[in-house]
Amino acid sequence: MTLLRVQDLTISRTGSGAHIVRSANFALDSGQTLGIAGESGCGKSTLLLALMGVVKPGLAVTGGLVHVMGQDLRLIAPEAMRRLRGQSVAMVPQSAAMALTPTMRVGAQLAEAMAVHDAIPPDTIAARTTTLFARVRLPEPDQIGARYPHELSGGQMQRAAIAMALACGPKLLLLDEPTTGLDVTTQAGILDLLDELRRETGMAMVCVSHDIGVLARLTAQVAVMYAGRIVEDRPTANLLTRPAHPYARALMASVPRIESPGLPPSIHGSPPPPGETGRGCAFAPRCSRAHAACEEEPALSPLTEGGRIACHAPDHGPLAPTEMPDPVVAQEAGAPIIAVRGLVVQYRRASLLSRLTRRSLPDPVLAGISLTLAKGEILGLVGESGSGKSTILRAIAGLWPPSAGSITLDGANLPARVTERDRTALRRVQVVFQNPDASLNPRHTVREILAQPLRLYFNASPTEVEARARRLIADVRLDPAHLGRRPAQLSGGERQRVALARAFAAEPDVILCDEVTSALDVSVQASVLALIHDLCHARGTSCLFVAHDLAVVAALCDRVAVLHRGRIVEEGPARTVCSTPEHPYTRSLIEAVRRASDVRGHSFGES
């Protein structure tokens, strides 16, 4: 019997009727696995929730059907639906930190998952709780159940959530971005666990992720979604080596790879806002192969070598290897623009009030960091959360005064606090923050955002501000029409471009980039990386680029410093560090990246 059948499923906004998911079709038998790949807003999470009969408020299923184990979810009685959930179909949520009830001990939450179904005899629940915690390799499985969610780390919470999904031995497991937001080593561990569980239990899986590498590890079949539609649906091995849909090809090419440094090609433009697609192929406006036929939306039709595709102009050639632009060699031993010596940052004890009223500050310790940034160089600073990488950046920016050590700008001492620095020193060092949603004032127009540094540093007159703002907006490859908009009217990538334009408006010598691409979709990330590269090299600006993703750093940077627990453990040219890592930590980091996104891996294909 078909375990899961989705037929012409369409989910729309109740108000506007805009389609969030359009005519999704697929089926899954016991033991089969399906990955759904796509960027944010493509409808993949909405589709996954619908498999459990859930639509978020404001949305409604407006067409098609979902059959789970022969039962039509449209017609199923509430009690039967409840029995289905958790027992036959279980879900691992996107963020376990949000999905575990804060006031309940994790053991009680796991026991509850069993107790509400009759599948497990009540007297064995306690023992099975321990077994399950051990199964997901949580430490001290017999005791960890007494803890509250906030007493677990991010990876442990994710493991607890997996244990909960496994509680009743479901036939079908749904995974919503199971590793997003976790450190790369943690991520690799979770993927190993899920892969192992799938082999052992033989349960069917549907996994949604923006990261094709994750899907490659877990699923035998991958469907790529774009603007609410499945555009290509192939066996994983096939899709990875020779994707045919131009979007799937571009998406895969835009992922930075540690084994082939250099900037990945990006997709021009950005995806349409959810539900706002025209009549034709939704990807046509961004597609280099688009032609007249693309005015009509292509149907999802079978491919001869297996799988399906929705494209009028598929490209069946092999995926071209990443272009390798010539490595930009920084002037050897060029004069340092920024030199950091013996930087120490101590953890400050937050007062009671600040702990109650503000989000807690990360509290890494920097234990004597020394590094230099040469003129015109792009230096990558890579490390996991809590390694202190952002602290270094904030110390240089004067936002987090160090307790010891010195920072010089062009040989001159840079005061510790931003308030003690003179206007020129301030102008020469600019910061770009991680999340442009937060770093741009939602009430300002782009024009006002760009005007601020121009007025502050150059006392620019209104006409001069306008002229310079227009030039800047063109430099970051945006349209002058964007000047009148507010951040909410821009896409994520456009916002980060505006943030970059604001930083470059100061004509700085150094820009400090704090995880500037980690909030962006991968195709947008590629274009922002290219922009940073071009802007810095065109102007001779130096860049300190902080990131958690070694592959991203390797793609952009000339030189890399690896940070671990507040110390630099390895430093060197990007390619050397990635190809021949010296330090064991760097090696484990690279190994984890490989394991987590092993697109040419070995484990898929068996179903």
Partner 1 sequence: MLGLILRRMATGWITVVIVAVVVFIGVEVMPGDACTAMLGRDAARGDVLENCRDRMGLNRPPVERFVAWAGDLAQFDLGVSMKRERPIADIVGPRLRNTLILAAAAALAGVPLAIGLGVMVALRRERPFDIIVSTTALVAMTMPEFVAAALLILIFAIWLGWSAGVVTAAYDAPALALLFATPLPAVTLALVYMAHILRMVRSSVIDTAGADYILMARMKGVPERQIVLRHLLPNAILPTIPVIGLTLAWLLSGVVIVESAFNYPGLGRLAVNAVADRDLPLVQATALIFGLIYVSMTLIADLIAMALNPRLRTRRL
Partner 2 sequence: MIGAPILRVVLSKPSGAIGVTLVVGHVMLAVLSPLVLPHDPIAQSADLILQMPSLSYPFGTDRLGRDILSRVMLGGRSAMLIATLATLVAMVWGTVVGLLLALIGGRIDTHMMRIVDALSSIPGILIVMIFVAALGVGAAALIPILGYSYGLSVVYIARAAALDFVARDFVLAAQARGEARSTILIREILPNVRDTLAVQGAMQWSWLMLGITSLSFLGLGVAPPTPDWGLMIADARGVMPTAPWAVLWPMAMLSTLIVGVNLAADAFAKALGVDQQLRTVAA
> Rule CB under 8 A: which residues touch partner 1?
52, 54, 57, 82-87, 90-91, 93, 95, 98-105, 112-113, 116-117, 148, 150-151, 161, 164, 167, 352
Q: Which is nearer to partner 2, 169 or 362 (CB)?
A: 362
* CA atoms 504, 506, 507, 513: torsion sign: negative
Query: CA–CA separation, 183 vs 103, rounded Å?
Result: 26
Name the binder of 482 from partner 1, partner 2, none, CB < 5-8 A by kind: none
Identify the bridge partners of residue 172 per DSSP, sorted by sequence position: 89, 204
Alpha-carbon distance values, 453 to 201, 232, 416, 424, 450 (Å): 59, 46, 21, 12, 6
Minimum distance of partner 2 from residue 97's CB (angstroms): 19
At position 426, the amino acid (one-letter code) is L
Q: Which is nearer to partner 2, 372 or 439 (CB)?
A: 439
Q: Which is nearer to partner 1, 132 or 472 (CB)?
A: 132
Cβ count near 441 (within 10 Å): 12
Name the binder of 117 from partner 2, partner 1, none, CB < 5-8 A by kind: partner 1
Minimum distance of partner 2 from residue 470's CB (angstroms): 21
Residues near partner 2 (CB under 8 A) are 351, 353-354, 357-359, 397-399, 418-419, 421, 423, 426, 430-431, 433-435, 438-444, 452-453, 456, 502, 506
Name the binder of 113 from partner 2, partner 1, none, CB < 5-8 A by kind: partner 1
Residue in the block written with tokens 């001069």: 464
Q: Which is nearer to partner 2, 47 or 431 (CB)?
A: 431
Of 45, 312, 328, the residue nearest 174 (C-alpha): 45
Measured in degrees and rounded to the nearest 5, phi and psi for residue 435 equal -110, 110
Name the binder of 418 from partner 2, partner 1, none, CB < 5-8 A by kind: partner 2
DSSP-based three-state secondary structure for 374 = strand
Q: Which is nearer to partner 1, 52 or 478 (CB)?
A: 52
Q: Which is nearer to partner 1, 8 or 118 (CB)?
A: 118
Name the binder of 157 from partner 2, partner 1, none, CB < 5-8 A by kind: none
Alpha-carbon distance values, 145 to 139, 152, 197, 324 (Å): 10, 10, 21, 50
Minimum distance of partner 2 from residue 455's CB (angstroms): 10
Query: CA–CA separation, 233 vs 245, rounded Å?
Result: 10
Name the binder of 381 from partner 2, partner 1, none, CB < 5-8 A by kind: none
Name the binder of 82 from partner 1, partner 2, none, CB < 5-8 A by kind: partner 1
Minimum distance of partner 1 from residue 523's CB (angstroms): 27
Q: Which is nearer to partner 2, 494 or 570 (CB)?
A: 494
Query: CA–CA separation, 517 vs 256, rounded Å?
Result: 12
Beta strand pairing call for 4-13 and 59-68: antiparallel
DSSP-based three-state secondary structure for 6 = strand
